[in-house]
Amino acid sequence: MKGFDRLRHVPWSALEGLESAVGPALDDVLAGKAADRVLDRLLRKHKDATADQRTAMAEALFGVGLWRRRLGDGTGLQKLQRLIDGHPEPASFADRFSLPDWLAAELQRTDAPEEFADALNQPGPICLRANRLRIDRDALARQLAEEGVETVPGRLAPDCLVITSSRPNLYGLRAWNEGLFEVQDEGSQLLGVLVDAQPGDDVLDLCAGAGGKTLQLAAQLKGKGRVHAVDLDLARLERLRTRATRAGATVSIHGRAPPPGLRANRVLVDAPCSELGALRRGPDLRWRLDPKDFEPMPALQRALLETAVQHLAPSGRLVYATCTFRPEENEAVVRDFERAHPQLTRVRPDVDAQLLDADGFLRTWPHRHGTDAFFASVHAAPRL
Q: What residues are annotated to the active site?
A: 323
Q: DSSP string covering 99-167, please?
A: --HHHHHHHHTSS-HHHHHHHHTSPPPPEEEE-TTT--HHHHHHHHHHTT--EEE-SSSTTEEEE-SSS
Give alpha helix (H) positions in 148-210: 174-177, 186-195
Whole-angstrom distance, CA of residue 159 vs CA of residue 299: 34
The amino acid sitting at 193 is V
The answer for residues whose C-beta is within 8 angstroms of residue 306's C-beta and 6 or more apart is 337, 340
Q: Are 205 and 240 in contact (CB under 8 A)?
A: no
Whole-angstrom distance, CA of residue 251 vs CA of residue 362: 27
Whole-angstrom distance, CA of residue 264 vs CA of residue 259: 11
